[in-house]
Structure 1
Amino acid sequence: MQFPDDDNGKMLAAMAESGIDLTKALDVDFFLVFDDQRDAETALEELTNSDLQGEIELNLNDELGKWEIIVCLNMIPEYDTLVEQEVMLHDFAAEFGGMSDGWGVMQHQDGDDEFSHEDDDDHGHVHGPNCNH
């Protein structure tokens, strides 16, 4: 399977190489970051009241010192769909002073009792263009 030569394509290629079936729906976490807690809470309220079909949570990311909304969507991880969703969420976050900070997929590893992120770094997601990790 061929993927574009960008961060999203590389992430999908790594997932496929690790044995993840990319033709089946997965829980994909999209990360939105905000400097201001009130901006993040307002964005969270808007997402909660929208027709978005997924789980949403707000956390303080101590490592970044920023507020992070995680939007978990169950979807087939197709390149164009991922990019479209990421752009839509980035534009949404920008309305509240935030930005997209990539996406990730949790995968249970054989022999592990915990879930771990699928990419190779410690942050578990494809980094956006303004990522500060």
Structure 2
Amino acid sequence: MSVLRIDHVHIYVNNIAEAEGWYKNVLGFIRDESLLFWFTQGGPLVIKNNEAALSLFERKHHSPGHTVAFNIKPSCFHELIEILSLRSIPFTVSDHQVSMSVYFEDIDGNKIEMTSYEYLEASKNIQSYLMSGKL
């Protein structure tokens, strides 16, 4: 499978406004206005500095730790789901309305997200595989 790049990292914070200010003042991150709707709907606040992206989540009951999200081509979801299934690695699929993601954990419990913003193709690809009965 071909991973294109690290897409973003989930950062769990005690106070999103304070964290946003810190990342802006110290590292130059600013809000990604195109994804602000996620935050207004109760999701993460996505901040960027050029191609580097962070998703700020308010820490509720989440222990310290992060999720690394890798960007992949929509066509890679078939291969990913098959690999996870063959290795009995539990996963979940999330439809974020602008992206499709598959979530799972590595051998040490670190959270991994594989995502594609080529939404329509990714959605069709995942659905066709899940409906194929190969799982």
Q: TM-score range by the shorter chain?
A: 0.3 to 0.5
Larger strand share, 1 or 2: 2
TM-score (norm 1): 0.35
Greater gyration radius: 2
TM-score (norm 2): 0.34
